[in-house]
C-alpha cells in the first residue's frame, strides 16, 4: 500500500513541475560561464588583487557587489600577504557596515519527518538509523521556554518536508513560538529555514510575522545537485528550489536568505553561484539577500557522504570562503554556525567579517528539553562542534571585545527589504545596530547572565559601546543612556530604536 506521505509527495511534485513549466524567471546559473571566469582568473596578479580589495572597501558604503571576475580572482589568491589584506578588509567592511556587534540566535529543529532522500542528510527518508519526530505545538513551546529562560530572543526554526510539516504547520508553530511568555522573556523574531513554497503559501506564512525565510540551494552545480538529490523527490527539482526566494519576494516576504552546503562541489564554483543568486534577486526585486550562510558538510549518523565527499573544505579554505563572501556582498548578514568548533569560530569572526552566530545550540528535535546532553545522534541532522552554553559563549565574546546583541528592532520597526537595504548599503545601519545591541544586551545581563558575564558586560562592554556612540552619534548616545537608566531603575524592557 502506498503511504500517505508518498501520495502527498507525488501530488506536490505535480504542482512543482507545473510551476516550473510556467516559470517566467531567467536562469541565472550559467555553468559554462562560471567555469570560464574561474579559468580566466586562476592566476591573478598582485596588482589586480590589490585593486579588487580596494574596490571592495569602496563598495562598503555603496552596497555594490564585486564582479564575478573579481570573486574568481580572490578565490585563486595564493600569496599569504594578500590573504592577510583580504582578511583585514573583511573585518573592516563588517565594522564599517554593522559595527563590532555579533547578533545571537538559536536554531530550533521543529520536525525531522521528510520525504526527500538527500545523500548528505541524516534526515533523508531512507535513513533507518534516525528517529523521526514532528513536534506538537505544546512540545514546541516547551522547547521555546527552555531557550527563553536562557536569554534567547531570536530563533531560526528548521523544518523537514512532508505532509506533517507543510505551510499550515509552519504557521501554527511560528505562532506557537511567539505565544510563549516567561517572566521578562519572549521570542521577538522567528526566522524560518523551510522547504520552498508556492506564492500563496508564502503569503500565508507571512501573516504570522516570520522574520527571514531561508532556502539554501545546497549546490549550484546541476550535475552534483542531481547526484545528491534523487530524481522523483521534491528536492530533486533544481529550478523549483533555485527560484524559491523569487516566489517569496512575490508574496511580500522581503527578507530572504541564501546559502550553500560547502563540501558537495568545488567551493570556488559555489561562491560564484552565491554571487549570481544575489545579483539575480537585486535585478528582479531591488533587494538582495538579507543573510548568506555557508555551512560545511558535517558527520551525520549513517551518512557516509558527509565524511567521504571529494570536495570537503579544509579549515584554511573555509576562512577564505567567509572572507570573500564579505568582500563580494558587503551589505549582507554573514552567519557562522555552531557546526564549527570554538577555536575556528573565533578565528573566522576576525578573518571573515561575521555578523551573526548561534549559541547554546541543540539540533535534535526536542533537544532543548534534554539540554544537558551534548549530542543525540539518532535525532540530529548532523553533529555540532560548538556546544558551549549561551552564557559561556557570550563571556568569550565579551573577552574578545565584541558586543553581543539580541536585537530584533529592525524587523519590528519595518527596517526590512527595500527599507533595510539603503541603510546597509550606505553603512548607516550600524548606528541602529550598536544602540539596539547595547539595550538588548543589557536585558540579558539583568535577567539571565552569570555574575562574571554581568560584571564584564556592565563594567566594560556596555560603557565601551556607549562611548562609541558618544563619539560617532552623540544624540543617539544620550537616548541610549536614558533607556539604560529606565531599564536599571524601573525594570523596563524592550526599549529600542
Answer yes or no: do 138 and 262 share one domain. Answer: yes
Last-in-domain residue among 398, 421, 444: 421
Within this chain, do residues 225 and 239 fall inside the same structural domain, yes or no? yes
- In a domain, residue 121? The reply is yes
Tell me, yes or no, whether 287 and 350 share the same domain.
Answer: yes
d(C-alpha 58, C-alpha 163), whole Å = 48
Q: How far is C-alpha 40 from the geometric centre of its chain's CA atoms?
A: 31
Asked if 340 and 351 count as a contact pair (C-beta separation under 8 A), the reply is no
CB of 245 within 8 A of CB of 258?
Answer: yes
- Measured CA to CA, the distance from residue 339 to residue 386 in angstroms comes to 7
Is 495 a domain residue? no
Q: Are 407 and 496 in contact (CB under 8 A)?
A: yes
In sequence order, what are the residues at sequence separation of 6 or more whose Cβ sits closer than 8 angstroms to the Cβ of residue 270?
219, 220, 221, 260, 262, 264
Low-confidence ranges of the chain (pLDDT < 50): 1
> 191 and 267: one domain?
yes
Q: DSSP assignment, residue 461?
A: I
List the domain range (segments joined by +) for residue 77: 33-90
What is the pLDDT, as a whole number, of residue 273?
98
Residue 211 within a domain: yes
Are both 273 and 386 inside the same structural domain? yes
In a domain, 330, yes or no: yes
Q: Are strands 185-186 and 181-182 parallel, antiparallel or unpaired?
A: antiparallel
Give CA–CA dist 62/410, Å, rounded.
20
Residue 126 lies in a domain: yes
Q: Of 328, 323, 358, 366, whose CA–CA distance to 340 is shortest?
A: 358
Distance CA 328, CA 56 (A): 7
Interatomic CA distance for residues 124 and 367, integer angstroms:
19
Contact assessment for residue 36 and residue 308, using Cβ atoms and an 8 Å cutoff:
no
The Cα–Cα gap between 229 and 214 comes to 19
Number of domains in the chain: 3
Residue with cell 552567519: 335
The answer to whether the CB of 213 falls within 8 A of the CB of 194 is yes
Specify the pLDDT at position 379.
Answer: 79
pLDDT at 374: 64
Q: What local confidence, expressed as pLDDT, does residue 2 receive?
A: 58
Q: Domain check: are 337 and 228 in the same one? A: yes
Q: Tell me, yes or no, whether 114 and 178 share the same domain.
A: yes
Residue among 117, 238, 109 at smallest CA distance from 165? 109
Amino acid 492: pLDDT: 95
Tens of pLDDT, residues 154-177? 999 999 999 999 999 999 999 999
* Residues 438, 344 share a domain: no
Q: 399 and 479: one domain?
A: no
440 and 397, same domain (yes or no): no
pLDDT of residue 306: 86
Cell of 245: 526566494
List the CATH number of the domain containing 261: 3.20.20.70
Write down the pLDDT at residue 1: 46
Q: Name the DSSP letter for residue 360.
A: S
pLDDT score recorded for residue 480? 97
Same domain, 136 and 263: yes
Amino acid at each position: 500500500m502506498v503511504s500517505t506521505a508518498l501520495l502527498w509527495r507525488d501530488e506536490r511534485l505535480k504542482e512543482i513541475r507545473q510551476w516550473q513549466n510556467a516559470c517566467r524567471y531567467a536562469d541565472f546559473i550559467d555553468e559554462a560561464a562560471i567555469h570560464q571566469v574561474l579559468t580566466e582568473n586562476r592566476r591573478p596578479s598582485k596588482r589586480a588583487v590589490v585593486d579588487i580589495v580596494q574596490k571592495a572597501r569602496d563598495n562598503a558604503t555603496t552596497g555594490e557587489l564585486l564582479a564575478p571576475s573579481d570573486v574568481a580572482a580572490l578565490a585563486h589568491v595564493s600569496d599569504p600577504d594578500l590573504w592577510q589584506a583580504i582578511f583585514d578588509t573583511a573585518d573592516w567592511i563588517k565594522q564599517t557596515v554593522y559595527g563590532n556587534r555579533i547578533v545571537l540566535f538559536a536554531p530550533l529543529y521543529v520536525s525531522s519527518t521528510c520525504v526527500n532522500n538527500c545523500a548528505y542528510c541524516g534526515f533523508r527518508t531512507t535513513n533507518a538509523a534516525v528517529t523521526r519526530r514532528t513536534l506538537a505545538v505544546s512540545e514546541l513551546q516547551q522547547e521555546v521556554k527552555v531557550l527563553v529562560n536562557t536569554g534567547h530572543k531570536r530563533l531560526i526554526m528548521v523544518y523537514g518536508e512532508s505532509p506533517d510539516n507543510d505551510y499550515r504547520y509552519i504557521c501554527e508553530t511560528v505562532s506557537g513560538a511567539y505565544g510563549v511568555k516567561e517572566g521578562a522573556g519572549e521570542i521577538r523574531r522567528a526566522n524560518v529555514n523551510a522547504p520552498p513554497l508556492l506564492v500563496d503559501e508564502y503569503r500565508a506564512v507571512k501573516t504570522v510575522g516570520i522574520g527571514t525565510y531561508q532556502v539554501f540551494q545546497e549546490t549550484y552545480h546541476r550535475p552534483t545537485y542531481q547526484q545528491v538529490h534523487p530524481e522523483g523527490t521534491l528536492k530533486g527539482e533544481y529550478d523549483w528550489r533555485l527560484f524559491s526566494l523569487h516566489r517569496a519576494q512575490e508574496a511580500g516576504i522581503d527578507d530572504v536568505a541564501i546559502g550553500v552546503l560547502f563540501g558537495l562541489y568545488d567551493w570556488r564554483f559555489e561562491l560564484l553561484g552565491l554571487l549570481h543568486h544575489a545579483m539575480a534577486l537585486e535585478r528582479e526585486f531591488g533587494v538582495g539577500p538579507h543573510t548568506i550562510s555557508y555551512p560545511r558538510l558535517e558527520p551525520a549518523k549513517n551518512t557516509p557522504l558527509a565524511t567521504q565527499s571529494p570536495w570537503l573544505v579544509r579549515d584554511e579554505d573555509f576562512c577564505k570562503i567567509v572572507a570573500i563572501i564579505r568582500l563580494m556582498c558587503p551589505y549582507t548578514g554573514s552567519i557562522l554556525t555552531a557546526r564549527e568548533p570554538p577555536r575556528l569560530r573565533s578565528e573566522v569572526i576576525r578573518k571573515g567579517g561575521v555578523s551573526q552566530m548561534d549559541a547554546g545550540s541543540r539540533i535534535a528535535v526536542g533537544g532543548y528539553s534534554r539540554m544537558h546532553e551534548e549530542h543525540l545522534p539518532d535525532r540530529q541532522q548532523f553533529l555540532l562542534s560548538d556546544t558551549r552554553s549561551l552564557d559561556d559563549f557570550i563571556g568569550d565574546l565579551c573577552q574578545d571585545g565584541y558586543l553581543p546583541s539580541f536585537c530584533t528592532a529592525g524587523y519590528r520597526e519595518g527596517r526590512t527589504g527595500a527599507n533595510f537595504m539603503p541603510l546597509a548599503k550606505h553603512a548607516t545601519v550600524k548606528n541602529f545596530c550598536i544602540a539596539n545591541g547595547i539595550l538588548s544586551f543589557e536585558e540579558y545581563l539583568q535577567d539571565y547572565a552569570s555574575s562574571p558575564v554581568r560584571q564584564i558586560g556592565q563594567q566594560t562592554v556596555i560603557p565601551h559601546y556607549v562611548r562609541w556612540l558618544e563619539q560617532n552619534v552623540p544624540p543617539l548616545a544620550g537616548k541610549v543612556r536614558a533607556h539604560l537608566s529606565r531599564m536599571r531603575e524601573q525594570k523596563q524592557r524592550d526599549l529600542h530604536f
